[in-house]
A and B are shown apart, each in its own frame.
Chain A
Amino acid sequence: MNENLAERLNELPDLLSGHVLLSLSAILVGLAISLPLGVFAAPRKRFAAAVLNIAGVIQTIPGLALLALMVPLLGGTIGYAPAFMALMLYSILPILRNTVVGLQGVEPGVVEAARGLGLTQKQRLWQIELPLALPFIVAGVRTSIVWVVGAATLATPVGAPSLGNYIFAGLQTRNWLSVVFGCLFAAGLAVVLDQLIRLLEVAARDRRKMLAVQVGALLSALVVASVLPRFVEFTPPAQPQISQQFASVRAEEGALDDEIVRLGAKAFTEQYILAELMEQVLVDAGAEVERLDNLGSIIAFDALRNNEIDAYIDYTGTIWATVMARDEPINRHAMFVEMAAYLREEHGILTLGRMGFENAYGFAMRADQAEALGIRSLADLAVHAGALEVGGDAEVFTRSEWINTRDAYGLGAISTRAMDATFMYDAVRDGQVDVISAYTTDGRIAAYDLVVLADPRGILPPYDAVILLSPEAAERPGLADALAGLVGSISDDDMREANRLADLERQTPQQAASWLYEQVTE
């Protein structure tokens, strides 16, 4: 079997299980809230309109935003809780709306007949109104299921494992098999659950007890099968062991025996490689590593601050702008010192040190185009600004780096286009945009023959990669020692090459990390 496919299949039990549990619990609780609420609201027109409006507003919040918003709302908690809350809220509207519509749609004559024959309010509800509204309610539940199972793929960036892991990781490492895998399984799951509910409705309508029992059994089997991986220990597939000859970076063997270390990673290739590198170092020291990949940028920081992860790699310029809310230019070394002091004082976070390389924003264009236009630095762009388009990730154009650069070099006339960072290198290579806000360690800069434009006025802030330890992890003696070997160990060129191996040579982050490990231990 194809190695990529085998690896994806290997991840399936955990991810599918996470996805099913997350979606089903969200829908069940959503149902438990929206059904009684709908029953209460249906006869109260104004109240019904009000709650439907509120639920409608929640529904218009894009799924990813709603999920991400839950993290600060829950005090920085990441993982299952915020994902569950967001999806639960998401599941409410279809069920609530259909319950209200279904109950309000029961023919007035039928309701009056029920009153006239002497049914109590409760009897009317259970014997007449709910059964007649049932097809609407079931349709609402089905809509909900499809939405929630789909939206649960967005739980990955807030740290809840789901089939979205395939999609997010696949997008970043351009592993399309992984993306397709995630989509297929998410869609398949939605279809299966949708059909099971439909069968339940048929069973209820035609009073087919056998069918109801069978569907019930299938649903329970699905739930049990999903819960199982949570309790059964899977023996992890044998990891390629790094041979003993590397010594300098290696932590003392057994220093972290049986300690659990939770590593976070944001959602891009370099982060996967670095998390993998840390994992290899820690595993060699005897630790057991748990990984939370694909975290949103701020979410990773919040998780660290709240001791939900023990360590991850961030960049000085990112912390400077997003956490410290500073935007004045400052030199690389001063920024590092100020940032480390700030993190320690404000949040108890320990900045273990700089890894050695910088992954800054730099504006890159095709070497031949730059040559033809006579552009060497950002200052040279101004003349051509009206004719050029800059591509970049969604974040960059709202950040002070871009705004300051634009203002400092008079680039107001240049047009901008936001896109996923994965695609911008290809876009500039293929001439779909002229300039991109590249990450300076990306392997594709060299591979695609791009040049990073000089920044003569020093506007672009430094982005030193730093190892950050959570307040609790900072107090664990062995952990800081184990990771300290990585400080100052990775050059710009090494990082760029590791990224290139993963992005262009189709190596897995593990393989790229192993290569990097070899470099740093030499």
Chain B
Amino acid sequence: MSKSAKPVLELRGVSKQYAGGIKAVRDVSLSLDEGKLLALTGTSGCGKTTLLKLINRLEEPSGGSIVYEGADVRQFDAFRLRRQIGWVMQGDGLFPHFTVRQNIAVVPRLLEWDIATTELRVREMMQLVQLDVEAFGERYPHELSGGQRQRVGFARALAGKPDLVLMDEAFSALDPLTRDDLQRDFKRLQSELGFSAVLVTHDMAEALILADEIAVMRDGQFVQSGTPSQLLAEPADDYVAGLLDTPRRQMRAIAELGG
């Protein structure tokens, strides 16, 4: 991590134990610099989604501290914190009874922006995610394709001008072509707007392509974290190596088919 950048987010020895005694997250520490994208990856049930939800207090940690912009998240009002941090969830989570416009305007409305500013922001966001304002503004989610819905999901997450965006399997439900498109658009958005992001994904290829840094989790703990090239060069153990190997194996298999 470069020394000039200051961390947007820091986790120090964070744990989460559920009421039933299950430890979903054990003693995790990390630091995310401004403008960077961290991918949390690992097999299902490794605790990556729980870790993500601890950041905007959808879950409360049982130990350790989470520092956002220099202050412990527990010092924030949970609702205000969530409005400040962008949130993109698996399967879009759009409000079915809201139009595209209304969905995107949710956070600006919660932040009590005036109507003109909100309207302007909605248009701006729709252009950013490449949805025609006139054609799509008044549509309802069920009238959109999966890719369009996820674009609205991104627009909604970014409308409140967050400097940190949390994404839970944001690309997973999409077909490969759409996913590819959206991933590229997202990369562009991030460099244009300069926000930091934490992306939870079980797809190692996605993590390698998008992330500045990858943290591999197993049983609630970090097995290894580092830049994609560090991981590729020196996988810490067989688990990490196995995860990294999957996309390569697929590539080889495809190459062989091509003869």
B-binding residues in A (CB < 8 A): 107, 109-110, 112-120, 123, 128, 131-132
Q: At the interface, yes or no: B70 with Cβ under 8 Å from chain A?
A: no
Q: Which 8 A-B pairs have the closest CB atoms?
A: A113-B93, A118-B83, A118-B82, A116-B87, A109-B93, A118-B79, A131-B97, A120-B79
Decide yes or no: A116 and B56 within 8 Å by CB, A109-B89, A123-B110 being known contacts: yes
B89 CB contacts on chain A under 8 angstroms: 109, 112-113, 116
**Interface residue from B91, B110, B156 paired with A119 (Cβ < 8 Å):** B110
Q: Which B residues lie within 8 Å of A115 (CB)? A: 58, 82
Per-residue interface assignment for chain B, residues 80 to 101, with 1 indicating a CB less than 8 Å from any chain A CB and 0 otherwise: 1111100101111111110000
Candidates B91, B92, B110; contact of A117 at CB < 8 Å: B110
Complex alpha-carbon distance, A107 and B92, angstroms? 12
- With A116-B58, A117-B110 as contacts: A132 and B97 at CB distance below 8 Å: yes
Chain A CB within 8 A of B107 CB: yes
Which residues on the B side are within 8 Å of A113 (C-beta)?
A: 87, 89, 93-95
Interface size on B, residues (CB 8 A): 23
The number of A-B residue pairs with CB atoms under 8 Å apart is: 53
Q: Which residues of A contact B83 (CB under 8 A)?
A: 117-118
Task: Tell me which of A112, A116, A132 contacts B96 (CB under 8 A).
Answer: A132
Residue of A109, A113, A117, A123 most packed against chain B (CB within 10 A): A117
The answer to the question of B231 belonging to the interface, with a C-beta cut-off of 8 Å to chain A, is: no
CB neighbours of A119 from chain B (8 A) = 79, 106, 110
| A132 CA / B142 CA spacing, docked (Å) | 14
Sample of 18 A–B contacts (CB below 8 Å) = A107-B96, A109-B89, A109-B92, A110-B94, A110-B95, A112-B89, A112-B93, A113-B93, A114-B95, A117-B87, A117-B106, A117-B110, A117-B156, A118-B84, A120-B79, A123-B110, A128-B97, A131-B97
Closest residue of chain A to B88, judged by CB? Answer: A116
B interface with A by C-beta (< 8 Å): 56, 58, 79-84, 87, 89-97, 106-107, 110, 156, 166
Q: Which residue of A lies closest to B89 (CB)?
A: A113
A369-B107 Cα distance, complex, nearest whole Å: 87
Taken together as a complex, chains A and B put the C-alpha atoms of A225 and B135 apart, in Å, by: 48
What's the Cα separation between A114 and B156 when bound, in Å?
11
Question: Which of B80, B82, B107 has the largest number of chain A CB atoms within 10 A?
Answer: B82
A123–B83 CA distance with the chains assembled, in angstroms: 13
Query: In the complex, what residues of A have CB within 8 A of residue B95's CB?
Result: 110, 113-114, 128
Please state if A110 and B96 are interface contacts (CB–CB under 8 Å). yes
Given A109-B89, A112-B89, A113-B87, verify A118-B97 contact (CB < 8 Å): no
Instruction: Knowing that A116-B58, A128-B97 touch, tell me 5 more A-B residue pairs with CB under 8 angstroms.
Output: A109-B90, A113-B93, A113-B95, A119-B79, A132-B97
In the assembly, what is the distance between CA of A498 and CA of B182, in Å?
90
B96: chain A residues at CB < 8 Å are: 107, 110, 132
| Across-interface contacts of B82 in A (CB, < 8 A) | 115-118
Instruction: For the complex, give the distance between the alpha carbons of A113 and B90 in Å.
Output: 9
By the criterion CB–CB under 8 Å, are B93 and A110 in contact? yes
